Chain A
Amino acid sequence: MAKPISGSLEEIPIGLIRRNEDNPRLIFRPGEMEQLLDSIRRYGVQVPVTAYKRDGEYVLIDGERRFRCCRKLNRKEIPAIVHAPPSPLDNLLMMFNIHSLREQWDLLTIALKLPDVIALLTAELGYEPNERQLAERTGLARGTIRRCRLLMELPEHYKHRILDELKKPKRLQRITEDTFIEMERALRTVVNAMPETVDDVERVRDLLLRKYERGIIDNKVEFRKIARIARASRVGASPQRAMRELTRLFADRDYRIDTAYSRSVEDAYTERDIKTTVRSLSEQIDSIQPSDIDDELRSLLSDLREQIQQLLEQRA
């Protein structure tokens, strides 16, 4: 069994820190760096970096982003856990352990704490913080905050249900935060576009969840089709038919989203997609010079011409 590695906590001079050439992290995305930069400027380095000492300098094992931000912020020192110099293998293993085993918080745990943050910020500012302010202060992306808000607004028993699910290993989780987020977004669209089809949101939510558990809805992304049905009029499909299908979908425990979709709006969406593709193709063809056409493209275009010709003749 490997010997546990321990280190001492020190404030080390930024000027003596060197990055670790073996750091598996190769990409430093500008947006993420700025979030961290702002967070460190406001609250300082809350988690020490990890380094080892070699020839009077400190080589980073963990915390290159924090180190870079501190340099940018003109800081002179950074808190660090300083280890004895590791062997090359230990160096790599330590970094892999630190980086690959670190996980983001579960979204629901953030969503459950967010109301407290909002309440405290409201007290500090004198008004409720908007999404941008919340993102700046929490270091969360605005998209994450929007997703959290959807979870925050769920009735309590659903939150407990997600928490129970989160306790399971990832591979065994069935009803996740994403399931609720997809379902809530779809339900909101329906409530806005066709409110007559939802007599009781809670009842509909329960029914959809049962369908999901039983496999009648086999993928959480399928919930998006519910929103597409509700927006039937946008693609020129019959709103009356869409309303009928949604009403049945929200009443019949065995009725599938796929069936409701194909019976109401699928053709209209397909037609819209074809039109978009044709317009785009037409623009691209316009930009082609005859000299640019090679044999393969010529053959493909001929096939397409024949297909279109047949289709138009059949219709005639």
Chain B
Amino acid sequence: MNYTYLPESLRPGADILAAFLCKNYGLPKRGLKTEESVDERIEFNPTFSARLRDHHLLCAEVNDQLLHPTIHYFISECQTNVVPVRLFLAYPKGVEIKDYPQRIKIANSLGVGVIEITENTCRIIKQPTSLSVTGVRPPKLSNYPPAYRQSLLTASATFTNGNPNKACADVYDEIENLCRRIGLRAGKKALFGKNQPDWKKAPFATIVEYLSAHLSPTAAGCPDLKKTLWSRIHGITEYRNQSGHRAVTNSAELSQRDATLRTRFESACDILLELSDASRPLRP
């Protein structure tokens, strides 16, 4: 391997790691790049990088202290620019790492993997998740009614663990259920005429369109249930039934897909909060 930056003391361990990555990820030897750029926008070249078959970039940074300020910068840039990187932090076995448990905890929270390099092989301590999804803004749970906190926490974890589609669908479920409950409660208060939709079975879009057209914020005592909010909810009905996206064919598409889902997830969480706040007066 042709290193420039990596201090000489860490190079033998890095060679072992390179062989391990090639073997475990089925990479050709030339597929693993050394200290090369992974994205022109990011001012940091990890020790190793390679393109995986699922279009993620596998990166590994060798360091004797696991974390250092510039690696935090790299992680943050990957998250901000939605670069689909799976990052391993690798350290040689036997070195004294200051605050090791704390550093492992931080690595865990950042979604990066950890590898210990032993004398002739490596041991994966933690698998990484894609940095393009870990950068999602998590919902501030304390702002939500208690009934939603558990499901939002789970959805958030589902998102960062690499299944953003499912996470979005889970939040959409909550929004849809809430819309149906709003219709039922308003119906019981005689706020609608005849020809109401079947609040339990009608399509989501029909429910939203009806509420937008017939629910008077003044009559319902919910001044914030405005048409603009219903329009935003109507906007998500299109994505509601998408169980998955079409397969991506390259890293750029993967990045675009993750960026889109990140926006959708954050937006859905915001809508759920606004809708639950706005419909509070209708609660029994």
Binding site for B on A (CB under 8 A): 27-31, 33-34, 37-38, 41, 67-69, 71-75, 136
Nearest B-chain residue to A132, judged by Cβ: B69
Q: Does B35 contact A (CB under 8 A)?
A: yes
Binding site for A on B (CB under 8 A): 4-5, 7-10, 35, 37, 40, 42-45, 63-65, 68-70, 73
Q: Once the chains bind, are A38 and B68 in contact (CB under 8 Å)?
A: yes
Residue A30 contacts which of B4, B9, B37, B73 (CB distance < 8 angstroms)? B9
Residue among B8, B63, B68 facing the most chain A CB atoms (10 A cut-off)? B68
Residue A41 contacts which of B8, B35, B63, B70 (CB distance < 8 angstroms)? B70
Q: Once the chains bind, are B5 and A30 in contact (CB under 8 Å)?
A: no
Also in contact, A33 and B37, with CB within 8 A (given A41-B73, A74-B42, A74-B44)? no
Q: Bound complex: CA of A38 vs CA of B43, how far in Å? A: 11
Shortest Cβ distance from A14 into chain B, in angstroms?
9
Q: Once the chains bind, are A38 and B42 in contact (CB under 8 Å)?
A: no
Q: Once the chains bind, are A34 and B10 in contact (CB under 8 Å)?
A: no
Q: Once the chains bind, are A73 and B44 in contact (CB under 8 Å)?
A: yes
Also in contact, A34 and B5, with CB within 8 A (given A74-B37, A75-B43)? no
Given the complex, which residues of B lie within 8 Å of A33, measured CB to CB?
5, 7
Shortest Cβ distance from B62 into chain A, in angstroms?
9
Given the complex, which residues of B lie within 8 Å of A75, measured CB to CB?
43
Q: Bound complex: CA of A69 vs CA of B5, how far in Å? A: 6
Q: Once the chains bind, are A136 and B69 in contact (CB under 8 Å)?
A: yes
Residue among A29, A31, A34, A67 facing the most chain B CB atoms (10 A cut-off)? A34
Given the complex, which residues of A lie within 8 Å of B44, measured CB to CB?
41, 72-74
Given the complex, which residues of A lie within 8 Å of B69, measured CB to CB?
34, 38, 136
Q: Once the chains bind, are A29 and B43 in contact (CB under 8 Å)?
A: no
Q: Bound complex: CA of A29 vs CA of B35, how far in Å? A: 18
Residue among A28, A33, A68, A72 facing the most chain B CB atoms (10 A cut-off)? A72
Also in contact, A37 and B42, with CB within 8 A (given A30-B10, A68-B5, A71-B4)? no
Shortest Cβ distance from A138 into chain B, in angstroms?
13
Q: Bound complex: CA of A67 vs CA of B5, how far in Å? A: 9
Also in contact, A29 and B7, with CB within 8 A (given A71-B35, A73-B43, A74-B43)? yes
Q: Once the chains bind, are B5 and A72 in contact (CB under 8 Å)?
A: yes
Q: Bound complex: CA of A75 vs CA of B35, how far in Å? A: 12
Q: Bound complex: CA of A145 vs CA of B104, how far in Å? A: 26
